[in-house]
Structure 1
Amino acid sequence: MPALLFAGCAAGPDYRIPSMAIVNRPEAAAPFLGSRDAGMSQAELPPRWWRLYGDARLDSYVEEALAANTDLRAAEANLRRAGAIVREAAAARTVSTGLSGQAAGGRIGGPTAALPAPFSYALGFDAGYPLDLAGGIRRGIESATAQGEAAVAARDQVRVVVAAAVTRNYARVCADGVTLKAARRVAAIQRSTLAVAVRMAREGRGTRFDIDRARAAAFSGEAAIPDIIADRKAALFELAALMGRTPSDYPHNLEACATIPTIARPIPVGDGAMLLRRRPDVRKAERVFAAATASIGIAEADLHPRVSLGGSAGTATSVGRALGPTSFGFSLGPLVSWSFPNRKAVRARIDQAGADAEVALAGFDGAVLVALQQMETALSAYARATNRLQDRARAADAAANASRDAERLQRFGRTSFLDVLNAQAGYADAQASLSTARASLVDRQIDLFLALGGGWEK
């Protein structure tokens, strides 16, 4: 078949997302089941979602981390490498040149032959331009470009993770501050109760047993404080690492935070279509599938002749005839190469590329399903955490009232000291549960934003 019949064509299939891909299903683009809960909105997630907290200090920490995080620096380097690969693939369509030169001298007759010996030279220049009639180079550029875009999505995914990690640890420090404040308040009440027990025993209205029980409760309350301080310090150190700082350079001004970040309006979660357009891991999987599809064309191009326009010019003669009219020569014409004996190997490579494309499509479908599943799971967990916090808050209020009532009744001799200790123990447990519920709610909120996949947009 004449080679020109391949002109304007490209081997392999043109890329498109198959109609049966999961991303094309109507239910994949529908509103989330969990978005019907109170506190949710179907509005689009803003690019810098952490600004929903209205905390300028948090904003500055996230921006610092996005500029200095070591994982992001590595991702940016990988992105530059991918760009270089695209340029390398595109360079295959440019003119290639070569320059050669040779000089030789010799004599016949051995050491006694007369000098000077005969001397000759040859100079040559050649150039070639690939016609890419089978489209192999074009498919190679398509594959490299898609891989470069996958590297962009991979970088964006790191940005998502870094922004979420900074926000999570920021909230963890502040939640620990709230927990520490509550624990110290409980410990102060228990120390006051111990002092009352000691005074009552001296007045003959109490026993050593009451003192020991009050002392045990006080020690137990104090023992909870060091763990809270250690957890807060660990969050500060992790925050420093995320921001590209050494542990000693952690943000000291955050250490006193005792207000958990909150969002005053419904959380914008959008719908499935918005999610799948935004999630970097879904975009990466789609681009990997595009690159794999282009690789089929790269393999199929080897079935066709490789044609390029080429030319060469040169001169070759002895020194005595240098630059004479008969010393120059040139050639111009197509250069065709075709490896007939390897067609079975080429067919095998085509089959391998086709299988790789099927694997990539399955990975793309899987990424879509994981994104939707993570989103619904995060919405459900956040709703449950919200309900749990409300219940814990009501329980803490009731326990505080019971503790105050027990102390008042005990002062008037209407209840035993054991009832006071039990009420205070219940109050301490309720405060600890409330603190845990508050921290858990913020964690579930960050999980939700992480599932939404935002924050990579610059």
Structure 2
Amino acid sequence: MVMSVVCLCACTVGPDFVKPQAQQVVEWSKPQKSAASQAVTAELDERWWEVFNDAKLSALSRRALTDNLDLQLASSRLQQSRAARQVITAEQYPTTSATGSYGRKRNSAEGLSDPSANNGRSAYSLWEGGFSASWELDIWGRVRRETEAADASLEVAENDRRGVLLAVLAETAQDYIQLRGVQSTRAVTEQNLDVARHSLKLSQLRLADGVATDLDVAEAAAQVAAIEAHLPALQQRQSQLINALSLLMGEPPQALHAELSTDAPVPQAPPRLAIGLPSQLAERRPDIRQAEARLHAATASIGVAKGDFYPRITLSGNVGSQAMQLSDFGSWSSRQFGIGPQFNLPLFDGGRLRGVLKLREAQQQEAALAYQHTVLRAWHEIDDQLSRYNSTQLRRDSLAEAVRQNQIALRTAQQQYVEGVVDFVNVLTVQSALLATQEQQVESATGVSLAMVGLYKALGGGWQSVYPLEEATVVR
């Protein structure tokens, strides 16, 4: 008999989950023209923000891991998911309870019965107490499928937190890099402003000597004002980025102003960028892991829906005592008990159960398509980021040469103007070109570092070193 029950309980309705095979790319795409810094197939740098060798960026990243409110919200959702799983898995086990009561009563003389046998002429006491237990025999595996779905839902929440963590780390690095880029642009602008002011003084001196004209002085003054006009926008952008970083740290506006307002160079990417193996992508990216967990939960839910078609059998029993006198309570004659199985079999529900089953099957199909779409989108993101990383480096190198040539041109134009060979408009034109290329050079250097952050985010790196896989292990 016991073996029969065990065999029945081993039956589980519904399809078993099969881990989907992610669409694989044999190797990372390679650009037609390679830049100086190369992305190589080597062990992924999990703490990728430390490869910049920027102590302030590393400190902000560590701070974001503990103080960021979005990450704390994701952790709260994870705790809720763990509690929900505990509620669902409790159905696998018997439930027991202890009861006890005392009451002073008086029944009607005209009623159906009076336990005191006094026909309602006097009150009586009633003492009751005992234990009860019930357990649903999971013959068809419905509860086991519910537990399986709960485990998968817990994995969804875990990867949601990992995705938030990855986004927070990437956003912290991006905002910090942009802040340093703005500060570098402002420094370049201020250097050009000094040059423009020097040119204005030179024009004024030449005007006093009768060599220059009022037009030269006006053009020089206009150049100074035009360069000065860049500074307020840069200052406002710096304030915005410091605010963005303050928000990521869970701080009020401008809380990091004293800490970050001092200029510092843009963090530079290393010459060798380890990006891991393509075959490891499905294990690294939280969104792929989350899509797989959703598919697992949807598959298990089909088994739950099918289990509702079968009868539910519950074993229940109780034992206790009942007496009208406290002195009799607990005596052998006051004992009472009840034991026996119960079953519930749905006969007619207007098609509700079939509708639920069709819904769960459709949801599983949607989850399978979502998984394929997530994997395909991941490969596209990585390919785009690899291309961006390479192209931004090539652009940066070309702009460096443009800046060098424009600096030579400006010195030449200034010398020729002093010698009276060229008009002042030539100096202004060359200086404007130099300022534009210098700003573009800073922007491109910032773009290289931002592209590296985007690449590591697309690769799904970073959360592994903070929340290891062992933390997410579910004890079944």
Q: 1:135 aligns with which of 136, 141, 144?
A: 141
Aligned to 1:96: 95
Match of 1:126 in 2: 132
CA distance in 2, matches of 1:433, 1:359: 45
Deviation at 1:326, TM superposition (A): 4.8
> Would the alpha carbon gap of residues 394 and 109 (structure 1) be closer, same or farther in structure 2, given more than 3 Å must change?
closer
- Aligned partner of 1:30 in structure 2 is 26
Selected match of 1:385 from 379, 392, 414: 392
Deviations 1:215-247 (A, max 9, x none): 111111111122112211211111111111112
How far apart are the structure 2 equivalents of 1:118 and 1:418?
Answer: 114
Partner of 2:114: none
CA contact (8 A) 1:173 1:257 kept: no
What is the identity, as a one-letter code, of the residue corresponding to 1:12? G
Return 5+ residue gaps in structure 2 as ranges.
Answer: 112-117, 467-476
2:143 aligned partner, one-letter code? I
In structure 1, the partner of 2:196 is 190
Residue 51 in structure 1 maps to residue 47 in structure 2: no
The yes-or-no answer on 1:105 pairing with 2:112 is no
CA contact (8 A) 1:106 1:119 kept: no
Kindly state the Cα deviation for residue 419 of structure 1 after the two structures are TM-superposed.
1.8
TM-score, length of structure 2 as denominator length: 0.88
Read off the aligned partner of 1:431 and give its amino acid letter: Q
CA deviation after TM superposition for structure 1 residue 162, in Å: 0.6
Amino acid at match of 1:42: T
- The alignment status of 1:175 with 2:176, answered yes or no, reads no
Q: CA deviation at 1:314?
A: 3.8
The equivalent residue for 1:81 is: 80
* Alignment-derived partner of residue 472 in structure 2: none
1:105-155 superposed Cα distances (whole Å, 9 cap, x missing partner): 325279x98843566665553211222111111111111111111101000
Q: Which residue of 339, 346, 349 maps to 1:342? A: 349
Report 1:44-443 matches (<5 A): 44-98=43-97, 99=99, 101=101, 103=103, 104-108=105-109, 115-117=121-123, 123=129, 125-316=131-322, 325-342=332-349, 344-443=351-450
Q: How much does 1:4 deviate?
A: 7.5
Q: Distance in 2 between matches of 1:390 and 1:118?
A: 99
Residue 273 of structure 1: how far off its partner (Å): 1.8
Root-mean-square deviation over aligned CA pairs: 2.5
Instruction: Give 1:313 deviation, angstroms.
Output: 2.1
- More helix, by proportion: 1
How many residues are matched?
Answer: 450
Secondary structure in 1 matching 2:92:
coil
Moved more, 4-13 or 403-412: 4-13
Aligned partners of 1:107 and 1:118 also within 8 Å:
no
- 1:388-430 per-residue CA deviation (whole Å, 9 max, x = no partner) reads 1111111111111000011112222332322222222221222
With 96-105 and 76-85 compared, the bigger mean Cα shift is at 96-105
Q: Give unmatched runs, 5+ long, in structure 1.
A: none
Partner letter of residue 32 of structure 1? W
Between the aligned partners of 1:183 and 1:248, the Cα distance in structure 2 is: 24
Task: Indicate conservation of the 8 Å contact 2:417/2:424, yes or no.
Answer: yes
- Residues 39 and 274 in structure 2, CA contact (< 8 A), matched pair in contact too: yes
Q: Work out the CA distance in 1 between the residues paired with 2:439 and 2:358.
A: 61
- Any idea what SS the aligned residue of 1:342 has? coil
- What is the identity, as a one-letter code, of the residue corresponding to 2:226? S
The 1:360–1:327 alpha-carbon spacing in structure 2 relative to 1, beyond 3 Å, is same
User: How big is each residue's C-alpha offset from its partner over 1:347-373, in whole Å with a ceiling of 9 and x where there is no partner?
Assistant: 221111111111111111111111111
> Residues 212, 302 of structure 1: CA spacing in aligned structure 2 closer, same or farther, 3 A cutoff?
same
Deviates more, 1:128-137 or 1:150-159: 128-137
SS in 2 for 1:248: coil
2:473 corresponds in structure 1 to none
In structure 2, how many angstroms separate the alpha carbons of the residues matched to 1:45 and 1:267? 8
Are the aligned partners of 1:131 and 1:307 in contact in 2 as well (CA < 8 Å)? yes
Alpha-carbon shift at residue 48 of structure 1 (Å): 1.2
Mapped partners of 2:174, 2:9: distance in 1: 57
